[in-house]
Amino acid sequence: MDEEAESLIGGIDVEAVPVEPDSAEPGASFDWLASTGVGLSWVETQPLTGRTIVVRADPARIAGYAVRDESVGSSLHAYGGMPYLFTTSGALVAVNAATGQLSAPSGRTSDAFTYGDLAGGDGQVLVVREHDRGDQLIALAPASGRLRVLLATDGFLASPRVHEDRLAWMQWASDVMPWDSCEIWIADYSPVQGLRRPRRVAGGPTESAIQPHWGADGTLYFMSDRSGWWNLYRWRDGRAEAVAPMPAECATAPWESSYANYLLLPGQRVAMTVQSGPEQHLAVVEPDGGSRMIQTPYTSIKPYLAALGDRVALIGASPTRASEIALVATDGSDEIEVIRRSTARGGAPTASAPEQLHVRADGATTTVLFYSPTSAEDGGPPPLIVRPHAGPTYQNELRLDREIQFFTSRGFAVAEVDYRGSTGYGRAFRKALDGNWGRLDVEDCRNAALYLIASGRVRSDAVFISGASAGGYTALKAVCDDGPFTLAVARSAIVDPQRWRTTAPRFQRPHATILASATSPVVAEQVRRSVLLVHGAADQVAPIGDVDGLAAALQQRGLLADLVRFDGVGHYLSGSAQQTALDAELAAYRKALRRMGVAMPA
């Protein structure tokens, strides 16, 4: 359990970065919000430079920092973990997004590991690092640069949390996903002796226990879905008890490490997010177990809650309000102070806000976010774009989405579908897609479209489907059957689920195996409608070769709308590549509509 391996790091690698004090750049995004005791810190993108920096806002000033000439960010477990930490002396320890290496006051690492999930601990920094054989939990002495391996496993580790002489962490095996099976462990801990007497306190083969956090009195809090919903529990005196049981999700599927969907407030109160379907709220749980929803303008809250006194700091958004950092009062006044927002305030007055629909078919209820167009050529029903989300273990977020507004402002209706397998609806719904990928998700997207057609909200002859990554596979499978889809758009699509089992990142390979257990590749001979393929040539998750082969076969059958390739681009499209992809998608829709004699707004 405790390894004696030690090493040293050397060199200094952190620089100050100018930031505007009043607001962030247009299009900036915010992540990894944390409390510094007297202020807040967060990760902020700078679209003009393309960098991601750490911003620290104290009562006296606001300042930006970054790894020299690079961005701050972590690709731990492929999707990331807390990439920075301010030590008690105010020094910054951060992860270089380009290399995955750790930069500390004494210098930087230079090894084969990827670092992330930083946390404070008794004057040291606790860090999780990963290589292709497993994870290690290490303790870093920032001043000397000494690294000590505390724990190693061929599986996964996350969220180390220290309280006095005890350490808690998340742990799961190499062949499972943390939202299916995850454990909370604790051990006696000291910087000198390391870990002693490790023991499991929650989680198991059919339980996902996540987000450990110590209370001031030594009580250990965590989220668990043992009831079928991720709810808050506390462990003390050798037993666990529910804090605020409810039929709602109070945690986010742990795609990244160090999520914080709840925090402990003074007076033994707890603030936490509560999600029902796509909508999230902020709640305060009182010491007697009673809870109260706080009224905020936000319907989407990122899983990075932080405390500043008795106020909750959060990153919130809504369909008409862009993402912003705010302080929310918990004293009953529900007052909100916005700390940081982009200079592009909220959404345009004509932004389309969704209607939440519930479609019942095939023995299941599917939630759909339906966006009406904000411009139209005439008063008739508009064409429809159905969008299955990526993941697929995720959900559609109820917040301002640039891509959706791009299409609604050009006369299209958009329907986002939380198909079976989505999060936000409990464990059983989340696991319904296991072994059913390419079937249940397709059925739910089809039924959503048929419902909107039958209700007269959209045209019956102009229904498109568009998805990315796993959602791209859903879109491709959807046009392997007759109706109602006229054309499919597949961005960074997984074409061969069986190959994805080997190309997926180490973290996600069990996910791919579970989902692909009864799936088949997309074969051109089965496709019945036109397809637009958009793909990065450097995509390692969904290899471009699969897409090239599919495109060639579709071309021979006259079903290839286009293949848009981006040299040097990986699995995720951003910046100019993302805009080019949107323009190509719009062009494909308009071409299909012109064939029907349908005119669309310019």
Those residues whose C-beta lies under 8 Å from the C-beta of residue 430, and which sit 6 or more positions away, are 179, 253, 393, 421, 422, 423
Structural domain includes residue 390: yes
> How big is the chain, counted in residues?
602
Identify whether the C-beta of residue 14 lies closer than 8 Å to the C-beta of residue 2: no
Both tokens assigned to 137: 């939990």
Instruction: Tell me the whole-structure pTM to 2 decimals.
Output: 0.94
Sheet holding 166-172, edge to edge: 156-163, 166-172, 183-190, 194-203
Which one, of 599, 405, 423, lies nearest residue 511 by Cα? 423
Structural domain includes residue 537: yes
For residue 534, the enclosing domain spans 355-596
Task: State the pLDDT at residue 121.
Answer: 79
For residue 456, what is the domain's CATH number?
Answer: 3.40.50.1820
Question: Final residue of a domain: which of 221, 236, 259?
Answer: 259
Instruction: Specify whether 124 is located in the same domain as 191.
Output: no
Task: State the pLDDT at residue 157.
Answer: 98
Q: Which residue has the tokens 């059919």?
A: 206
Question: Final residue of a domain: which of 103, 120, 150?
Answer: 150
Both tokens assigned to 10: 């050397």
DSSP labels for 493-544?
----HHHHHHHS-GGGHHHHHHHGGG-----GGG--SEEEEEEETT-SSS-H
Buried b (16+ CB within 10 A) or exposed e, 517-553: eebebbebeebebbbbbbbbeebebbbbebbbebbeb
Identify whether the C-beta of residue 523 lies closer than 8 Å to the C-beta of residue 559: no
Q: Which residue has the tokens 């917040």?
A: 399
Q: How far apart are CA 473 and CA 495, in angstroms?
A: 6
Q: How far apart are CA 476 and CA 473, in angstroms?
A: 5
Assign 88 a pLDDT band (cuts: 50, 70, 90).
Answer: confident
Instruction: Specify whether 204 is located in the same domain as 66.
Output: no
Asked if residue 484 has a cis previous peptide bond (ω within 30° of 0), the answer is yes
Segment of 30-34, 330-334, 519-523 carrying the highest mean pLDDT:
30-34
Identify whether the C-beta of residue 318 lies closer than 8 Å to the C-beta of residue 300: yes
Instruction: Specify whether 572 is located in the same domain as 473.
Output: yes
The total of structural domains in the chain comes to 3
Instruction: Specify whether 472 is located in the same domain as 592.
Output: yes
Question: Final residue of a domain: which of 109, 127, 150?
Answer: 150
Please provide the average confidence, as pLDDT, over all residues in the chain.
Answer: 93
Instruction: Specify whether 146 is located in the same domain as 161.
Output: no
Instruction: Specify whether 442 is located in the same domain as 590.
Output: yes
Instruction: Specify whether 127 is located in the same domain as 10.
Output: yes
Q: How far apart are CA 166 and CA 122, in angstroms?
A: 10
Sheet holding 84-86, edge to edge: 84-86, 92-95, 102-104, 107-108
Give 506's Cβ-side CA count (13 Å radius): 17
Structural domain includes residue 271: no
pLDDT score of 1 more than 50 = no
Structural domain includes residue 265: no
Q: What percent of the chain has pLDDT over 90?
A: 84
Task: State the pLDDT at residue 4.
Answer: 41
Around Cβ 303, how many Cβ atoms within 10 Å?
Answer: 22
Identify whether the C-beta of residue 406 lies closer than 8 Å to the C-beta of residue 429: no
| Residue 200: strand pairing partners | 185
Q: How far apart are CA 217 and CA 232, in angstroms?
A: 17
Structural domain includes residue 329: no
Instruction: Specify whether 222 is located in the same domain as 114.
Output: no
Task: State the pLDDT at residue 303.
Answer: 98
Average pLDDT over residues 247-264: 97
- Degrees to nearest 5, angle at CA 213 with 210 and 218: 135
pLDDT digits (tens, 9 = 90+) for 543-591: 999 999 999 999 999 999 999 999 999 999 988 999 999 999 999 999 9
Instruction: Specify whether 489 is located in the same domain as 512.
Output: yes
pLDDT score of 344 more than 80 = no
Instruction: Specify whether 580 is located in the same domain as 470.
Output: yes
Structural domain includes residue 6: yes
Structural domain includes residue 292: no
Instruction: Specify whether 381 is located in the same domain as 478.
Output: yes
- Degrees to nearest 5, angle at CA 295 with 294 and 296: 110
Structural domain includes residue 381: yes
Instruction: Specify whether 431 is located in the same domain as 530.
Output: yes
